[in-house]
């Protein structure tokens, strides 16, 4: 009986790649390439994409993933771990590239006129995310939110909906001070995850 490689779970593919099966690497690449590229596109500021293509970042992610896996730096134990690992590598690459470009001697802002900058802001505010970008953002938010306690998840969801702190405190029967403290913790967790 021939195994159908398309239905292998990610942890099985990871183990097969660790054991030297190149076919597993190809399947992993095919399965996750679009999602990684979409995530890089969502996270990399549009004005930085003029100098760095999100596909370049995703290729760098794969290079790091394959090299790290072969060197034994990564391990996968359950479903979802592979995607978390790929998201982590992608976010590190995006933020490293963003810092590099922003600290570069030739400032990106100096290369533009004020008019083109304001036009860019207008186009950003009117641009709808693609389906891939939306899915990548949802996946990332699910991973980040798993770090939150149940009360933090409720606070975060309500705050994302634009609900005021006083109303959140009322609905959860907590003090506004408690809600503010929890929001600071959430902010710290998000910052640590994204750095």
Q: How far apart are CA 16 and CA 14, in angstroms?
A: 5
Q: What is the DSSP letter of 39?
A: H
Question: What is the structure's pLDDT at 8?
Answer: 79
Question: What is the structure's pLDDT at 170?
Answer: 92
Q: How far apart are CA 61 and CA 75, in angstroms?
A: 16
Question: What is the structure's pLDDT at 115?
Answer: 46
3-state secondary structure of 160: helix
Q: How far apart are CA 181 and CA 138, in angstroms?
A: 25
Dihedral-angle region of residue 164 (phi above 0 means left; psi in -120 to 50 means alpha; beta otherwise): beta
Q: How far apart are CA 31 and CA 20, in angstroms?
A: 18
Q: How far apart are CA 190 and CA 170, in angstroms?
A: 25
3-state secondary structure of 187: helix
Hey, how many other C-beta atoms are within 10 angstroms of the C-beta on 94?
25
Question: What is the structure's pLDDT at 75?
Answer: 85
Question: What is the structure's pLDDT at 124?
Answer: 46
Hey, how many other C-beta atoms are within 10 angstroms of the C-beta on 58?
26
pLDDT in tens, the chain (195 residues): 335 556 778 888 888 898 888 898 899 888 888 888 888 888 877 767 777 888 889 899 999 999 998 888 888 888 788 888 998 898 888 888 877 777 664 444 454 444 444 454 444 444 555 656 666 666 667 677 777 888 888 888 888 777 889 999 999 999 999 999 998 888 887 776 655
Question: What is the structure's pLDDT at 108?
Answer: 43
Task: Single out the residue of 15, 13, 18 nearest to residue 29, CA to CA.
Answer: 13
Taking the whole predicted model, whether its pTM rises above 0.75 is answered as: no
Q: What is the DSSP letter of 8?
A: -
């Amino acid at each position: 009986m021939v195994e159908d490689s398309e239905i292998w779970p990610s942890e099985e593919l990871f183990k097969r790649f660790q054991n030297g099966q190149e076919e597993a690497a190809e399947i992993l690449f095919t399965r996750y390439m679009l999602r990684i590229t979409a995530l890089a596109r969502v996270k990399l500021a549009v004005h930085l994409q003029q100098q760095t293509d999100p596909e370049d970042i995703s290729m760098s992610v794969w290079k790091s993933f394959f090299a790290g896996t072969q060197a034994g730096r990564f391990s996968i134990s359950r479903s979802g771990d592979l995607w978390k690992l790929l998201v982590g590598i992608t976010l590190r690459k995006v933020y490293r590239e963003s810092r590099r470009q922003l600290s570069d001697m030739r400032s990106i802002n100096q290369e533009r006129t004020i008019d083109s900058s304001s036009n860019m802001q207008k186009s950003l505010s009117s641009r709808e995310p693609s389906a891939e970008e939306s899915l990548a953002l949802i996946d990332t938010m699910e991973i980040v939110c798993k770090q939150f306690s149940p009360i933090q998840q409720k606070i975060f969801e309500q705050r994302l909906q634009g609900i005021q702190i006083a109303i959140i405190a009322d609905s959860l029967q907590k003090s506004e001070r408690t809600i503010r403290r929890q929001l600071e913790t959430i902010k710290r967790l998000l910052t640590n995850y994204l750095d």
